[in-house]
Structure formats: C-alpha cells, structure tokens
C-alpha cells in the first residue's frame, strides 16, 4: 500500500437535540460516552490527520476534547435541528476552517457518533479505497440488506400499491429471494468524501460512489439499538478470544433454539414454505455449534394459523439442506438462547462466534 501525503479530516457530527434517545451521542456505553468511541477510532487511524467534532453544545464539546478531538467552533442552532442535513454541517465546518484557519482537507471522513462499533483499520481501508480510485467522488459503507426492496411497495391514498423497485424482472415481488439481485443498505458507519464533492457538487455522495462492504449494522437510533451495541461490545471483548473453528468455547454446553423461517429458510410469499430455499451461511453456523456439542433445537410456527401440516416438508428440507439438529418442534420450547428473526438477530450471534475475515 502506498502512503499518501494528504490532509484527511475526520468529521464527527454530534448535535445535542436527539429525541429518540435523550443525549444519545454522549450516553454511557461500556463506561464511556458513545461519542468517545468515534473520536478514539479516528485518532487510532493511520491515515486521518485531524479529528474534529461539530456540536451545538459546549458540554458535548468538552467531552470531545477530553477524548482528544478538536472543537474549534460550535455549530449554529439553525443547522442543528431534527431536519438539518449532513451537507449543512459539513459545509459550515469547511467554510469556517477555510475562513478562520485557511485549512482545507483533501478528504473528509464522516464518522457518526451513533455507530460505536467500528475498527480503525476499517476506516483506513475505506479511505484507501477512495485514494486508489481517483475517478470516484466518495465511498460509503454498506451491509447486506436483510429485506429485499424488490418485495417492498408504496401505497397511495386510495390504497393502490406500486412496487418500490421498477425493474424488468417479471413479477419480481413474487419471485424467490435467491432469484433477485443482491441489495445493500448503507449502514452509517464510514463515509469518505473528496472535499470538492461537498463544496462544488453540493453533495454527500457525488455522481460516483464506491461501496465499502461490512458485515454489521450498528447505527443507533433507539434505546434497544443502544442496548444491542453495548451487548455486542461486551461479548466481543469477553468471548471472541476463545474461539475454535469459528465457534467460542462457551461456559458449558448450551441449548440453542433457532426459528426456521427467516433464519434457516428464506421467507416466502403467502407462507408457501415448500418454495423456501436455505440461508446457507446460517445453516453453517448452526452446524458449527452442533459439532461443538451444543444442543440444537429447531422450532417453527408453520401451520399454527392455517392448520396445514408442514411437518414432512420441514423435515425433508432440513435433511436436504444438511441442517444438524437434535430436536424439531412446532412451537417455542424452553432454552438458554433464542435466535430468530424477531428476537435475537442472528448476525449479532455470528459476529460473536465467528472470527472476522477480510
């Protein structure tokens, strides 16, 4: 990798007016304000040359300085509202720095304080991606979308539905997910922009944006998401160090319960379970836990509403897909862990039990 002598500014916007979680940006998480994680990650980056926090609160600014960031200005109230945009905050910062310090960075790295789970090397990889592609205006971090937009709809006032995605794929909304293009969701972790993308194109992406692919999405907007991020950080620190074949040596043998639909099987329209395909990565995770000696219980609510007996179909699918398990139940049993598409996100489990590869 070639070293580049560029001015690369980390920009951390941290306004004080959050309503979903009061004082969200400075809420304690694992013993320190959430804002501190982004500051420390920026300072640990090999490529970032300056770390600035933009806030409308002197209290927030003091916390940012305590952890090593610069706060050369306070952001005006009129661009620190619920409907204020990232572009307004960046434009204000760049104008202030140019007018007061004659400073203009080559690249800006957008690190949202609401995303405390990131690694400095991930920041550097995203920066290097833009450096290596001079034709691009920006880089935006993304994660695989858990729901496909090809099955999403707009609904008009008269109740008429229109597909969100206009495509040449016939009846895309009714096709199995595996027949549809893979889609990605911006995960709000790392954005890297050329300064002229902001100042000249008046944009936070420009006309050509590269994707930096990540596995997780830990952007925090609710109290539940805050709890999930804290749980991840605690478990990652305590459990990742004791791994064997991608699975941690947990304290004793545990019982893991996995819902089938949405976890091991693709969701299908109108509950046509016989048309479902396997979610291969999740099947491999279940099998790894099984091989280590944990008890695997599969459960499903198939047929509980319609009265249709899906037992034979379900057993055949598990056999064909190579799923290793001890028990298959129609209903929710007692267990040490529940992992399904509504209660515990399997991606959170995966991030704990599998080492991260790049």
Which range of 290-299, 328-337, 339-348 scores highest in mean pLDDT? It is: 290-299
Percent of the chain having pLDDT more than 70? 79
Q: What is the pLDDT of residue 69?
A: 97
List pLDDT tens digits, range 312-326: 999 999 999 999 999
Residue 5 in this model has a pLDDT that exceeds 90? no
List pLDDT tens digits, range 234-283: 555 544 444 444 444 455 678 888 888 888 988 777 778 898 899 888 89
List pLDDT tens digits, range 23-50: 788 887 777 888 999 999 999 999 999 9
Question: With bands split at pLDDT 50, 70 and 90, how would you rate the model's confidence at 228?
Answer: low
Q: Is the dihedral of CA 105, 35, 21, 73 positive or negative?
A: negative
> Which H or E run contains 88?
helix 86-101
SS (H, E, C) 146-180: CCCHHHCEEECCCCCEEECCCCCCCCHHHCCHHHC
Average pLDDT over residues 329-347: 57
User: Are 158 and 152 spatial neighbours (Cβ–Cβ below 8 Å)?
Assistant: no
Distance CA 44, CA 354 (A): 24
Residue 178 in this model has a pLDDT that exceeds 90? no
The full set of domains in the chain, from first to last, is 8-144+183-220 (3.90.550.10), 146-181 (no CATH), 240-353 (3.40.50.1000)
> By CB neighbour count within 10 A (0-12 exposed, 13-18 middle, 19+ buried), where does 334 fall?
exposed
Q: What is the pLDDT of residue 59?
A: 93
User: Are 164 and 196 spatial neighbours (Cβ–Cβ below 8 Å)?
Assistant: no
String of b and e for 251-282 (b: at least 16 CB within 10 Å)? eeeebbbbbbbbbbbebbeebebeebebbeeb
Q: Beta strand 295-299 with 255-259: parallel, antiparallel or unpaired?
A: parallel
User: Are 341 and 262 spatial neighbours (Cβ–Cβ below 8 Å)?
Assistant: yes
């Amino acid at each position: 990798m070639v070293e580049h002598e560029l001015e690369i500014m980390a920009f951390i916007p941290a306004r004080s007016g959050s309503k979903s979680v009061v004082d969200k940006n400075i809420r304690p998480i694992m013993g320190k304000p959430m804002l501190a994680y982004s500051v420390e990650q920026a300072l640990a980056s090999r490529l970032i040359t300056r770390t600035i926090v933009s806030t409308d609160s002197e209290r927030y600014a003091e916390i940012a300085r305590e952890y090593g960031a610069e706060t050369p200005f306070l952001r005006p109230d009129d661009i620190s509202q619920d409907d204020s945009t990232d572009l307004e905050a960046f434009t204000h910062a760049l104008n202030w720095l140019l007018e007061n310090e004659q400073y203009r960075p080559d690249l800006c790295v957008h690190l949202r304080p609401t995303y405390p789970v990131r690694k400095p090397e991930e920041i550097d990889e995203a920066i290097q991606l833009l450096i290596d592609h001079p034709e691009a205006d920006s880089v935006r971090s993304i994660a695989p979308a858990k729901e496909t937009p090809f099955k999403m709809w707009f609904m008009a006032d008269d109740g008429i539905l229109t597909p969100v995605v206009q495509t040449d794929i016939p009846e895309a909304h009714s096709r199995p997910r595996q027949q549809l293009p893979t889609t990605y969701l911006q995960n709000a972790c790392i954005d890297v922009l050329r300064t002229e993308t902001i100042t000249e194109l008046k944009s936070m992406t420009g006309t050509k944006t590269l994707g930096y692919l990540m596995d997780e999405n830990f952007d925090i907007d609710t109290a539940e998401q805050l709890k999930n991020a804290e749980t991840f950080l605690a478990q990652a620190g305590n459990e990742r160090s004791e791994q064997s074949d991608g699975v941690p040596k947990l304290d004793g043998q545990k019982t893991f319960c996995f819902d089938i639909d949405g976890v091991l099987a693709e969701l299908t329209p109108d509950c046509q379970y016989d048309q479902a395909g396997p979610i291969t990565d999740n099947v491999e995770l279940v099998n790894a836990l099984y091989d280590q000696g944990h008890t695997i219980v599969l459960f499903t609510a198939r047929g509980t509403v319609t009265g249709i007996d899906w037992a034979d179909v379900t057993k055949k699918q598990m056999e064909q897909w190579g799923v290793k398990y001890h028990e298959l139940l129609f209903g929710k049993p007692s267990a040490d862990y529940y992992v399904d598409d509504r209660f515990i996100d399997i991606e959170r489990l995966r991030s704990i039990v599998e080492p991260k590869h790049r």
